[in-house]
Chains A and B, each alone.
Chain A
Amino acid sequence: MTPRDGTETPEAVRPPEGTPRTDLPGDGEAEDGGDFITLVPGPLTGVFRRGWAWLEDRTGITAALHRRLYEAVPKQGGWFYTLGSATLVIILVQFFTGIFLLLDYVPSVTQAYSSLEFLRTNDLFGDWMRGIHLWGAYILMLLIGLHALRTFMSASYKKPRELNWMVGVTLFFLVLAMAITGAMLPWDQASYWTATVVTNIPHYLPIIGNGVRTLWRGGDFVGQITLTRTFALHIWVLPALLVALIGAHLLLLFRHGEFGSWVNYRTTSADPAAEVAERVRRAEPPYPTRGAEPLYSVPRETVDFFPNQLFKDTVVSFVLVIFVFVMGLISGAPLDGPANPATLTYVPTPEWFYLPLDQLLVFFPTQLVGFGVFIIVGIGATVMLLLPFIDRNPERHPIRRPDVLVPAFFLIGTVIYLAMLGVNRLYNL
């Protein structure tokens, strides 16, 4: 454990949960706004100080901020832990750009396309906003996938963080659902045929398949009801679930603290048990993690979240946001011709993150499509969700976890390969 000032504090004892730390800079000023006042320009200081004191009096915000900002995080590997916060930032970008798009968009089969045409041609920055929304979705998919991969590789999902992993996996599925429902809204050729293909997939389910398809489509064919229901899913149902689960994800993270990875828990002394006991004795909140094995309850070295980790989080998020904005401006979001159910020549192509699934559909013969799509993908999704309960080996080092890493590499390799094949196939259509 390395205290912020670099000196040893052997007598440090973990304060009770929720107690604000008293050895932090600015704690003496907490009642009148604390050290945040120093960030405010001179003439406004008095006003801000009074305002902050009013807010502090009613909410206790200073202590809460201090608790979060100065909580300990593992020292090693900080850049890898930025993926979660970057994901959150991009989700926020998606919410804001989505709200702007809602100002123009009309969820009607006769007006959806023209409303986007209007947005593209008449609305200042409208097209850019659409571009940001699309590229934000792309980056979000990539980020959430990498975040999940990082969590998997570092075995952060193990006891007592099982529930947080499950919430995270559900968030991943929700983002996928957001992406596919969003792709169906513009009601151009691409989205119409995407809607046709996607809403048809449930019918491969035995017994309930046709019912689910009819429910989603609002009939036998894709039409106005399909659009209305998909719109409702995209802007109400899924975001509400997303926000709730993000809240749960963060709460659980605050409770258990950042795990980091196995490198943060290596012991170096001849008496590992004594070393671990000493770590636990000197742990700073939120460590030691309740319910974890002693070895994995406190990282070997920690730093404060602010400014160390927050700086890294900000850099990564900032770079990604800039990238999304630039790509939104340069590349924008495509808009095909208006939806035409009578066309015979249009070849629908999925978004890149659905290419593996699409390629799976290509590979399976008709009689095995249901098996391929629902059994294989279903088993994969269930295993992913229940991973912490399947992999109960306490080891965290990847080399010592071949029982999950070998199948996982096979699975990840397959997904990447299918995506590559899908891209290649698109060039050969």
Chain B
Amino acid sequence: MPQMILALSTNPVPGTVLTNTVMVGMVALLHVLFATFLIGSSTLVALSEGISMVTHDERHERLARSLVHWWGYVFSTGAAIAIFFVIFVLVGVWGRFFVTFQQFTFWVWFFEALTFIGEIVLLYTLYANWERMRAYRRTRLGMVILLNIDQWFQMFFIDVIASQMLTPTVQGATVNTSYLLQFLNPTNLPLTIHRTIGNIAWAGAIVTITSAFQYLRATRREEAPALASGRREPVRALGAMPEGELVRERNREAAYWDWAGQWGMLFAFGFTIVQVWVGYSYAKEIQLHSLDSWYQMMYGWISNIFLGQFAGIGLIFIFGVAYFWRRLKAAGQTALARRQQVLLVLLILLFLFGLQPAWFAGSYPDIVAAHLDKPFWQGGLEDPLGFFFPWKVIVLIADVLIAIFALTFYLRARVRTPMTMGQASRGSQRLLIALGIVVGLMMLIMGIIRESSRSPYLVNQNITINHQVILQQPAPNLPLNQRPIGP
């Protein structure tokens, strides 16, 4: 049977490497966006459900219910994409890769599938019976926590595969590798932590985007004067509803969406702070264990995309702190808002400084080949102030510290002075939408960087993209010690 599968899948599907790569990339990234949201949102549901049980806060109960309501649609779509991805795209265009990889990670895939079944059972049960189970809230919460655990392991198993593709435990051998060593491969832990945090940030981003849109809807400009003053009914009325009830209903909705947007934003923003450090450690492990890939990321053509990642981090912090500023200002806390304003200015300056490319070319080897590896003021194409060490590292550290300060100041202001919900400016909600979109883009860019850094390999040092064969010799590139490395 294995031979038959191999025979069936040996021949590449007609098409170019680029077409196949783009197809795999698009479907995979689409799947990632759905799956990661599900995993992250189940954590948010567990949290909100737990909080609402303790504090009887109806907003948390509503948020948990809304997220569970989405699960049905998101999971069915995400699962359909995943099945399409594995059965048609992956097996179709990279058959040899998939079958070979199956051989030495069989049990990982097996348990991955088991957790998928567990997810189906738990998720659909919760989705279909959420209201009915209200009388048994502890059971309901227990099931959500079980779902969290199940999904975490699902992600962990797929991370074993993904990290094994980037930093195989044993170079040049895709078979007979111990499962323990696969689990402990150098980048599995950072990747798993990176994704765990990223999932929650992404789920928070979706919550914040949706809430911001709903808030904007609830406070549309043509109705805003009426809502604010309560002098007259808005344009529309609902049947025999008592006078003023529609306004009150709108105000309640605005208050809820204002709160929900802020709640989601705290996860999107707060967890991104952690991502910087975890991401750095991930890159470091890649450097230590797969120098080829790291070289591609930092010096090769992906380095410019990597710069986009760097810009994304800066934008998330800028949008986040700008939101803090606007929200505090709207709440009348002028002095605290001014403090956020100062932090915002610092973040913008750091962003501009960090955005400088280290060289004005596609990749560093290009300028070395052209003998232009000298500062631009000496006629070269290098910009020393754009180098990762020490400048970008310093920018990242400063970004993180400022973001922590901003978050802390904001939360402290919230705790010490009660904030009335529903008073947020519309501009602050647009900032939330922008923040959420950048978080999503970051996930896509990160995926592209990681998957492209192995090029020309599908499994690093083992299977190439274009020939789909297992190689036993190192990459057909210059030896690492002969490659140009920037200062």
Contact = CB atoms under 8 A, between A and B. Distances in A.
B395 interface: no
A410 B280 contact: no
A63 to B, nearest CB: 45
B278 A424 contact: no
Interface stretch (A113-121, A236-244, A312-320, A399-407): A399-407
B337 interface: no
A417 B411 contact: no
B278 A417 contact: yes
A35 B408 CA distance: 55
B interface bracket (residues with beta carbon within 8 Å of A): 20 to 34
Interface stretch (B10-18, B22-30, B183-191, B423-431): B183-191
Contacts of B390: 365, 367-368
A248 to B, nearest CB: 32
B404 A410 contact: yes
Contact of A424 (B189, B408, B409, B411): B189
Given A368-B390, A413-B274, A402 B412 contact: yes
Contacts of A13: none
A365 B411 CA distance: 34
A253 interface: no
B274 A410 contact: yes
Contacts of B411: 402-403, 406
B318 interface: no
A interface bracket (residues with beta carbon within 8 Å of B): 20 to 34
A360 B383 CA distance: 28
B285 interface: yes
Interface string A101-145: 000000000000000000000000000000000000000000000
Interface in A341-371: 362-363, 365, 367-368
B376 interface: no
A362 B190 CA distance: 15
A368 B280 CA distance: 15
Contacts of B193: 417, 420
Interface in A39-57: none
Given A362-B284, A402-B411, A417-B278, A427 B184 contact: yes
B189 A420 contact: yes
Interface of A: 362-363, 365, 367-368, 399-403, 406-407, 410, 413-414, 417-418, 420-421, 424-425, 427-428
26 contacts: A362-B284, A363-B284, A365-B390, A365-B393, A367-B390, A401-B415, A402-B411, A403-B408, A403-B409, A406-B408, A406-B411, A407-B408, A410-B404, A413-B274, A417-B193, A417-B277, A417-B281, A420-B189, A421-B189, A421-B285, A424-B186, A424-B189, A425-B186, A425-B285, A427-B181, A427-B184
Given A406-B404, A428-B169, 18 more contacts: A363-B280, A363-B284, A365-B390, A400-B415, A401-B415, A402-B411, A402-B414, A403-B408, A403-B411, A403-B412, A417-B193, A417-B277, A421-B190, A424-B189, A425-B186, A425-B285, A428-B185, A428-B289
